Amino acid sequence: VDMSVETTRKVRVIGRQQQLLRIDFEKTPSREVLLQKLRDYRRLLVECDVVILSDYGKGGLTHIVNMIGLAHRYRKRILVDPKGFDFSRYKGANVMTPNRGELREVVGPWSRETELDSKAQRLRRDLGLDALLVTRSEEGMTLYEEEGRHHEATQAREVYDVSGAGDTVIAALAVMVAAGADLREAVRIANHAAGIVVGKLGTAVASFAELKNSMKAEH
């Protein structure tokens, strides 16, 4: 609780059943309040299998370097959804899931697939990641590991609203990793989950039944 900060409000502008834009009203929390929260974070680490650090650029992950260090101390897998131009703060995470635009801001533009592959792998090595998963909207998603690349084509039938698609991807990925799946299988399931939620209006979830049916339809 920080009495000097109001809870962030997000106003979504909808037209013809599709989101056109979002307007945020917010104030960044103080570093002191966030530093106090590290104690709660350390306590919760003991109880979890996987850590998701989803950066919305709102200031909540001001101490993310400490958070990654603590997660390593407790031997937890760390998945990061990044934001901004400085990806060095995510160094040491296991998996990072930037979207196409976020990656372009950091590594620069590319004109060929081989150029993208080279830049993505270089970034993965520089940050010490096990894997880099690039979500690419209508192009699907591409996983970069030491062993090479693995691509999953998009599963979206018709896109109504992309709100929460990135959250869905990293959440599904984390669940599968915690359950013991290898990353390529986890990415396949995350891709199906994302395809389900972008076909719904507003921030939505993919149910187990929907996921099961989507994966059946693939075959």
Residue with tokens 């400490």: 66
The whole-angstrom separation of Cα 48 and Cα 151 is 29
Catalytic pick among 40, 49, 161, 167: 167
- For 75, the token pair is 């031997």
* CB 72 within 8 Å of CB 112: no
Does the annotation mark 167 as catalytic? yes
The whole-angstrom separation of Cα 150 and Cα 103 is 17
- For 28, the token pair is 């960044």
* CB 76 within 8 Å of CB 42: no
Show the beta-strand stretches assigned E in the chain: 9-15, 18-25, 50-54, 77-81, 95-96, 131-135, 141-145, 148-152
Residue 210 contacts by C-beta under 8 Å, 6 or more apart in sequence? 196
Which residues participate in catalysis according to the annotation? 167
